[in-house]
Amino acid sequence: MVLFQISEPGETQLQRQHHLAVGIDLGTTNSLVATVRDGHAETLVNAHGDYHCPSVVRYFADAPPVVGQEAKDAAYQDPLNTIASAKRLLGRGVADIETTANRLPYEFSSSDCGMPYIKTVAGNISPVAVSAEILKKLMEQAEADLGGELDGAVITVPAYFDDAQRQATKDAARLAGLKVLRLLNEPTAAAVAYGLDSGSEGIHVVYDFGGGTFDVSILRFSRGVFEVMATAGDSSLGGDDVDRLLAEWLLAEAGLTGEIEHRHLRRIIGEANRAKEALTTAASVQLSIETQTGEVWQGVLTRADFEALIDPLIMRTLRPCRRALRDAGLTTDDIQDVVMVGGSTRIPRVRECVAEFFGREPMVDIDPDKVVAVGAAIQADILVGNKPGDEMLLLDVIPLSLGIETMGGLVEKLVPRNTTIPVVRAQEFTTFKDGQTAMSIHVLQGERELVADSRSLARFELRGIPPMNAGAARIRVTFQVDADGLLSVSARELTSGVESSIEIKPSYGLTDSEVEKMLADSLLYAAEDVKKRRLHEQLVDSARLIEAVEAALKMDADGMLTNKECVTIKAALTTLKDKIQSEDIALIKAAHDKLERVTSDFAARRMNVHINEALSGKLLDQIID
Partner 1 sequence: MESFFSKDYFQLFNFPAVYDIDRDALTQRYRDMQGLIHPDRFVNATEKERRMSVQLTALINEAYNVLKSPLARARYLLQQRGVDIDDSVTSKDIAFLTEQIELRERLEEARQGSNPGRALMKLAGELQKRLMELQLALEDAFLDESPDALEKAHRLYDEMQFISRLNDELDEIEDVLN
Per-residue interface string for the shown chain with partner 1, residues 223-242, x marking contact by CB under 8 A: x-x-x---------------
For partner 1, the closer CB: 461 or 541: 541
Q: If you count DSSP H runs as helices and E runs as strands, how many of each does the chain have, helices first?
A: 18, 27
Which run of H or E residues covers position 478?
strand 475-481
Annotation says 87 is catalytic: yes
Write down the catalytic residue from 133, 171, 208, 396: 208
Annotation says 186 is catalytic: yes
Q: Are strands 337-341 and 202-209 parallel, antiparallel or unpaired?
A: parallel
Write down the catalytic residue from 25, 151, 215, 381: 25
Q: Does 413 bind partner 1 (CB under 8 A)?
A: no
Annotation says 208 is catalytic: yes
Q: Does 381 bind partner 1 (CB under 8 A)?
A: no
Binding residue for partner 1 (CB under 8 A) from 136, 166, 174, 182? Answer: 182
Phi, psi of 362 (to 5 degrees): -70, 155
The partner residues of 487 in beta bridges, in order of sequence, read 481
Q: Does 571 bind partner 1 (CB under 8 A)?
A: no
Binding residue for partner 1 (CB under 8 A) from 211, 375, 385, 485? Answer: 385
Q: Does 547 bind partner 1 (CB under 8 A)?
A: yes
Shortest Å distance, C-beta 372 to partner 1:
18
Spatial contact of 242 and 313, defined as CB atoms under 8 Å apart:
yes
Q: State CA 546 to chain mean position distance.
A: 29
Per-residue interface string for the shown chain with partner 1, residues 185-204, x marking contact by CB under 8 A: --------------------
Q: Does 384 bind partner 1 (CB under 8 A)?
A: yes
Q: What is the DSSP letter of 609?
A: H
Cis peptide before 422 (omega within 30 of 0): yes
Whole-number Cα distances in Å, 502 to 460, 462, 472: 6, 5, 20
For partner 1, the closer CB: 166 or 182: 182
Q: Does 606 bind partner 1 (CB under 8 A)?
A: yes
Write down the catalytic residue from 96, 171, 186, 369: 186
Which among 51-59, 301-309, 348-356, 598-606 is the span making contact with partner 1, rule CB under 8 A? Answer: 598-606
Range list of H helices, 279-407 = 303-328, 348-358, 371-383
Which among 247-255, 273-281, 388-396, 462-470 is the span making contact with partner 1, rule CB under 8 A? Answer: 388-396
DSSP letters for 481-527 = E-TTS-EEEEEEETTT-PBPEEEEEETTS--HHHHHHHHHH-SSS-H
Phi, psi of 149 (to 5 degrees): -80, 145
- Residue 240 CA to residue 249 CA, distance in Å, equals 14
Q: Does 544 bind partner 1 (CB under 8 A)?
A: yes
Q: Does 408 bind partner 1 (CB under 8 A)?
A: no
Interacting residues with partner 1 between 415 and 474 (CB under 8 A)? 419-424
Size of the site for partner 1 (CB under 8 A): 54
Q: Are strands 21-25 and 439-445 parallel, antiparallel or unpaired?
A: unpaired
236 in helix, strand or coil?
A: coil
Q: What is the DSSP letter of 345?
A: G
Residues with a catalytic annotation lie at 25, 87, 186, 208
The binding site for partner 1 (CB under 8 A) comprises: 3, 6-8, 181-182, 222-223, 225, 227, 319, 322-323, 326, 382-385, 391, 393-395, 419-424, 480, 482-483, 544-545, 547-549, 552, 596, 599-600, 603-604, 606-608, 611-612, 614-617, 620, 623-624
